Structure 1
């Protein structure tokens, strides 16, 4: 799993216990997962269909730097399934795991549409496809 997105836990992200508010973390995860799905499917019209059990493993406190890791685990005809882990950047200790997140690819009519993808696309490969022949 690649960890690309980093967040700095600030006072406005805390709950009354002085730890990272779960709602803030879930918002960050949903946004990052949607961006990942958009990049993988090549379409800005994707929606969150399903998020499995969320396992909060440990707390994060103000000043911590956390990182979100997301990877595709399956491609359906109109969907992509992802897994997610959030960990402390410095200690590498796990903060949260989500085993399954499903995003659906939509057509211009707002209905599920086939995306034609079957495997993970990496940024280095995407740029190769876009470059003109030399």
Structure 2
């Protein structure tokens, strides 16, 4: 798995308990996953179709730096499946794991359309 982006945990990213708010990190994952898939396919016009269980393993606190990692699992005819892990940059503790996030490439008519990619891009 390659870790593509980092985030500094700031006060606005915290929940009432003073730890990383799940909604914030899920928003970052969604954005990073869409960027990753667009780069893998070499084209946009994708939508998130499915996401497996989100496993909140640990948390982060103000001042922590986290990394968001993505890895391609498989390619379908019009879909791509990736997995994601968010971890603490320095101690490498896993914060969140998502085993499958499925994206579908759409044609101009808004319906699934073959993307023509079968191997991960760098």
Whether the TM-score (by the shorter chain) exceeds 0.5 is yes
Name the counterpart of 1:78. 78
Name the counterpart of 2:28. 28
Q: Hey, what's the Cα distance between the residues in 1 that align with 2:29 and 2:98?
A: 9
Q: Hey, what's the Cα distance between the residues in 1 that align with 2:9 and 2:119?
A: 33
1:59 aligned counterpart, secondary structure: coil
Q: Hey, what's the Cα distance between the residues in 2 that align with 1:106 and 1:36?
A: 16
CA drift at 1:117: 0.6
More strand by share: 2
- Map 1:86-105 to 2 at 5 A: 86-105=86-105
Q: Scaled by the length of structure 1, what TM-score is found?
A: 0.89
1:83 aligned counterpart, secondary structure: strand
Residues 9-62 of structure 1: per-residue CA shift (max 9 Å, x gap): 100000000000000000000110011111111121000000100000001001
Structure 2's unaligned 5+ residue stretches are: none
How many residue pairs get matched? 122
Q: Hey, what's the Cα distance between the residues in 1 that align with 2:67 and 2:103?
A: 21
Q: Which of structures 1 and 2 has the bigger CA Rg? A: 1
1:32 aligned counterpart, secondary structure: helix
Q: Hey, what's the Cα distance between the residues in 2 that align with 1:45 and 1:99?
A: 23
Structure 1's unaligned 5+ residue stretches are: 123-134
Name the counterpart of 1:69. 69
More helix by share: 1
1:97 aligned counterpart, secondary structure: strand
